[in-house]
Amino acid sequence: MQSPYSTPGALGWHELTSNSCEDAFGFYGKVFGWTFKTMQMSHGPYHIIENEGVGIGGIAPNPCPQQESHWTGYITVDDVDEVAIKAKSLGGELLYGPEDIPEVGRLCWIKDPQGAIIAAITYEKTDD
């Protein structure tokens, strides 16, 4: 497999939606040795999870504090809009997006018919 960020069907990013980002930094930093870099986004702070200097995921404040903190995996796809349409046609629910995130790509969040949540993303092409 090539990079998970360019291979359709690969799980490439993991994101924690947290009710306490500071507590998450302390816990995961100690458990896994992760470090965190904060970026200011249009919707507020976003914290990149780094493992040995490589970004592997993110932590975002929970926009719905009544909901428990939770992890979401991001699956790389060729066409987010097509995936959103297909998921809805198969009984899924579109929770967010599709939306463009500058310098990242286009993404959406989907709830499957059993209630599990996953995200689909098409990353912007880079000249690596």
User: Residue 57 forms beta bridges with which residues?
Assistant: 14, 49
Q: What is the pLDDT of residue 23?
A: 96
The two three-digit tokens of residue 72, written as one number = 């979401």
Q: What is the pLDDT of residue 21?
A: 95
Domains and CATH numbers, the chain: 11-123 (3.10.180.10)
Determine the longest span between alpha carbons in the chain, in angstroms. Answer: 43
The two three-digit tokens of residue 49, written as one number = 């999870």
Q: What is the pLDDT of residue 125?
A: 81
Whole-angstrom distance, CA of residue 95 vs CA of residue 12: 20
pTM above 0.75, yes or no: yes
Q: What is the pLDDT of residue 127?
A: 61
Q: What is the pLDDT of residue 64?
A: 84
Q: What is the pLDDT of residue 74?
A: 93
Look-up of token digits 């995936």 = 83
Q: What is the pLDDT along the chain (128 residues), one digit of tens a residue?
A: 578 888 888 888 999 999 999 999 999 999 999 999 999 988 889 999 999 988 899 999 998 888 899 999 999 999 999 999 999 999 999 999 999 988 889 999 999 999 999 999 999 986 65
